Amino acid sequence: MRGQRSPRIAIVLEAGERDALRQLAAEHDEPVSTTAARLVRSALAERGARLEAARRHGTRRHSERGAEPPWLPPAARADAILALRDRYPDELRHLPPDPLHDPIIAEPLAALTVWRDQLDDGTHADPRMEIAFAHELRSFATWLQTQARRHR
């Protein structure tokens, strides 16, 4: 397998850092690896990395039909993002003026718009999906608030 590189990267953390990462992952109800990836992307974006350009040349997520998921690219959901901001002004009050500028913000926000549309059009008949949406929206709002505090 020489010559082929894994897309995975290993990092070494001190015990306290690992504990903090596990706690953050538990708070967001997500795997530790997902939390770690989100934190790395956020740090890269804060340092000015051009993540959208890097992603364009990397592996894209495709459905079985070969098309991108309906929330990508986020710019295609710009009107829906504005509508979501209008619908949930308190939860999304910490959105930056141009949320499409940062893929760490734009991509999950665009995914939330698709989910909201699916709830509104009755695609999800299970009321637990509404509760899950509200939970994810609050989680995203908390993350936005944390980011806003860091940039004061």
If we measure between CA atoms, which residue out of 51, 85, 55, 49 comes closest to residue 68?
55
Torsion angle of C-alpha atoms 137, 101, 48, 112, degrees rounded to 10: 20
pLDDT at 53 over 50: no
pLDDT at 100 over 80: yes
pLDDT at 59: 44
Residues 46 and 96: beta-carbon distance below 8 Å:
no
- 5-23 pLDDT, tens digit per residue, is 656 778 888 999 889 888 8
In the predicted model, what is the mean pLDDT of residues 138-150?
Answer: 93
Q: Which two tokens stand for residue 123?
A: 């695609």
Cis peptide leading into residue 73 (ω within 30°): yes
Alpha helices per DSSP H over 88-126: 103-120
pLDDT at 95 over 60: yes
Helices then strands, each counted (H, E), the chain: 6, 0
pLDDT at 60: 45
Q: How is the chain split into domains, by residue range?
A: 1-49, 63-150
For the chain, the average pLDDT equals: 82
Distance between CA atoms of 80 and 77, rounded to whole angstroms?
5
Higher pLDDT, 57 or 93: 93
